[in-house]
Amino acid sequence: MPYKPKTCRRCGEWYVPMGSNQKWCKGCAATANLEAKREHNRRYSAANTDIIKERERRHYAANTDIIKERKRRYYAANKEEIKERERRRYAANKENERNRERANRAHAAFVAGLAMFGAMAPDTGTKEA
């Protein structure tokens, strides 16, 4: 039983559907399906952030050695490309990088100062007998 012609929801062209649930013509189907899938994934990720993070933690814990080995091999095979990409990123964001380095140095000095003052804790007022 052939289906009645419909108009495509994206482009408005007339087409004869191949199934009862078809919403788009063949020309728009691939793009429309990708967009629908992206939107679904976006909504799912926003609604299930904790579940996704827990799944990723369990996966990493179960496969730590494999993941580290894969990263090591990737870095070894692409060392120059990675360094060049970092050089370009640093050059493009030079001011941001300098600010980050300054902040890191300031934080390190602050932590060192806290440690120094922690070593000089005030007297508690108790006397040994």
Q: Decide which of 68 and 115 is more confident.
A: 68
CB 10 within 8 A of CB 26: no
Q: Check: pTM over 0.85? Answer yes or no.
A: no
d(CA 129, CA 126): 9
Domain boundaries, the chain: 1-47, 78-117
Would you place residue 2 in the very low, low, confident or very high pLDDT band (cuts 50, 70, 90)? confident
Per-residue pLDDT tens for 55-112? 999 999 999 999 999 999 999 999 999 999 999 998 998 888 889 999 999 999 888 8
Would you place residue 113 in the very low, low, confident or very high pLDDT band (cuts 50, 70, 90)? confident
